[in-house]
Amino acid sequence: MARPMTITEKILARHAGATEVKPGQFVNVRPDVVMANDITAPLAIDAFLASGASRVFDPARVALVPSHWAPPKDILSAELVHKMRTFARDQGIEGFYEMGRGGIEHVILPEEGVVVPGDVVLGADSHTCTYGGVGCFSTGVGSTDLGCALATGETWLRVPESIRFEFNGSLGRYVSGKDLILFAIGQIGCDGARYQAMEFVGETLESLPMYQRLTMCNMAIEAGGKSGIVPPDAVTRAYEDGRARREPVYLESDGDSEYTARYTWDVSGLEPQVACPFLPSNTKPISEAKGLEMDQVFIGSCTNGRLEDLEAAAEVLRGRRVHDRIRCIVLPGSDRVWRAAEKAGLVAIFVEAGCSVGPSSCGPCLGGHLGVLSAGERCAATSNRNFRGRMGHRDAETYLVNPHIAAATAVAGHLCSPDDLD
């Protein structure tokens, strides 16, 4: 009889061809999807070619996404994208998401049904853990590991221990999954889940929409997690219906599964959270952070660049103007989101409010372009990291917030909640 297993262990066992696996065990698994972007793919391609391989293991299971330098900001970034584009064409990889028909990989792959429940997904990007929101095991790997996976269709993994995070209670009007994950990181620290699977459960999660589940899993890496995962339920099935490109496999943890730690929180009275410089774990409720003046607001990224995130920001900005001292940058997470936002009138709301609406790109999140900060500037961002130098100059400051708080801050000129606006 197989030992009780968590959902993460069950997924890895299936992909290792084993009846069971246990934490600490090293296994070879065959991933369902292998992904890289314009920063990591060129290095992975070099590793692939150095291995002596000539063809990728399965062109239908490879996704290559220009997102970080999209559109290219200089010759070097253009050459990186060109290398990836040429490789995709030579290998017959249909999953190359050209600019104008793509966006950010962590927004595209779930919305396009490329990643599905029960999958193992490898991505040469640390925020690959995002896809756990649909109930799969997804994790970031280095470009060399990714290059080897491109060649062999296999990789090795150490089965991670799991931590169970249970959230109960109803969320307030301006509180979201972004606040749940910021709160959790604030409680356990940036290394509190190091190389462990963060499993999110509880009555709060049961009513949490998919886009907020993806946001929570996106930031598992900010707690050191190997992965984040929300066990599939009715919300998952509704999301995948008509979307999934392959047959989903819906799994759940056994009731007597072993966890290295269990956390249970009643979040009924939780305020919107603000992660202050220079760690995502340096969190405060908005009531303790409001009033601090900002120079820039960034709404977008793989964390909060989905259509519902833009709807939340537009709800606050509708009929209002961005403060004279603030530049507010809005970058939809994918071109599909961009088109939907335009059709719904959200783009017009942003433009009329005085926002700069740009292409679907990671842009300023990694200090790349489209909104880099100078010394001494402060930015309220819906992105995922606020390390020193992350969005530009090492003496700039980034404050991580949800889209409602970001939009309210853009109007007021300082950190605040929509409840604080006139």
Q: Quick check: is 91 in a domain?
A: yes
Final residue of a structural domain among 245, 264, 283: 264
pLDDT tens for residues 115-130? 999 999 999 999 999 9
Of the chain, the percentage scoring pLDDT greater than 70 comes to: 100
| Count of alpha carbons within 13 angstroms of residue 105, beta-carbon side | 33
Query: Mean pLDDT for the chain?
Result: 97
Q: Indicate if 84 and 178 belong to the same structural domain.
A: yes
| Single-letter amino acid, residue 93 | I
Q: Indicate if 317 and 230 belong to the same structural domain.
A: no
Tokens 């919107």 belong to which residue? 272
Q: Indicate if 206 and 341 belong to the same structural domain.
A: no
Q: Answer for the pair 8, 162: CB distance below 8 angstroms, yes or no.
A: yes
Q: Indicate if 318 and 291 belong to the same structural domain.
A: yes
Q: Indicate if 19 and 106 belong to the same structural domain.
A: yes
Cis ω for the linkage preceding 332 (within 30 of 0): no
Torsion of CA 374, 128, 273, 208, to 10 degrees: 150
Q: Quick check: is 245 in a domain?
A: yes
In sequence order, what are the residues at sequence separation of 6 or more whose Cβ sits closer than 8 angstroms to the Cβ of residue 30? Answer: 15, 120, 153, 154
Q: Indicate if 41 and 119 belong to the same structural domain.
A: yes
pLDDT tens for residues 79-106? 999 999 999 999 999 999 999 999 999 9
Average pLDDT rounded to a whole number, residues 400-418:
98
> The domain containing residue 219 runs over which residues?
9-264
* pLDDT attached to residue 76: 95
Q: Quick check: is 4 in a domain?
A: no
Q: Quick check: is 252 in a domain?
A: yes
Q: Indicate if 252 and 317 belong to the same structural domain.
A: no
CA pair distance 242, 77, nearest whole angstrom: 36
CB neighbourhood size of 279 (10 A): 18
Average pLDDT rounded to a whole number, residues 396-422:
97
Q: Is the pLDDT of residue 2 over 80?
A: no
Q: Quick check: is 318 in a domain?
A: yes
Compute the Cα dihedral for 287, 289, 294, 300 and give only its sign: negative
Q: Indicate if 307 and 212 belong to the same structural domain.
A: no
Average pLDDT rounded to a whole number, residues 316-335:
97
pLDDT band at 5 (very low <50, low <70, confident <90, very high): very high
Q: Quick check: is 162 in a domain?
A: yes
Q: Is the pLDDT of residue 251 over 70?
A: yes
Q: Quick check: is 180 in a domain?
A: yes
Q: Indicate if 327 and 192 belong to the same structural domain.
A: no
CB neighbourhood size of 50 (10 A): 12
pLDDT tens for residues 180-231? 999 999 999 999 999 999 999 999 999 999 999 999 999 999 999 999 999 9
Q: Indicate if 291 and 245 belong to the same structural domain.
A: no
CA pair distance 149, 340, nearest whole angstrom: 35
Average pLDDT rounded to a whole number, residues 275-302:
97
Total tally of structural domains belonging to the chain: 2
CA pair distance 286, 188, nearest whole angstrom: 19
Final residue of a structural domain among 264, 289, 323: 264
Average pLDDT rounded to a whole number, residues 132-150:
97
The enclosing domain of 416 has a CATH number of: 3.30.499.10
Q: Quick check: is 351 in a domain?
A: yes
Q: Indicate if 258 and 283 belong to the same structural domain.
A: no
Q: Is the pLDDT of residue 379 over 60?
A: yes
Final residue of a structural domain among 264, 285, 315: 264
DSSP codes, 243-275: T-SS--------TT---SEEEEEE-TTPPPEEE
Residue 73 vs residues 86, 328, 383, 395: alpha-carbon distances, Å = 19, 20, 20, 23
Order the strands of the 356-357 sheet from edge to edge. 283-285, 273-275, 397-400, 378-381, 296-300, 327-331, 356-357
Q: Indicate if 79 and 169 belong to the same structural domain.
A: yes
* pLDDT attached to residue 1: 55
Residue 134 vs residues 13, 178, 229: alpha-carbon distances, Å = 18, 16, 8
CA pair distance 222, 1, nearest whole angstrom: 36
pLDDT tens for residues 9-65? 999 999 999 999 999 999 999 999 999 999 999 999 999 999 999 999 999 999 999
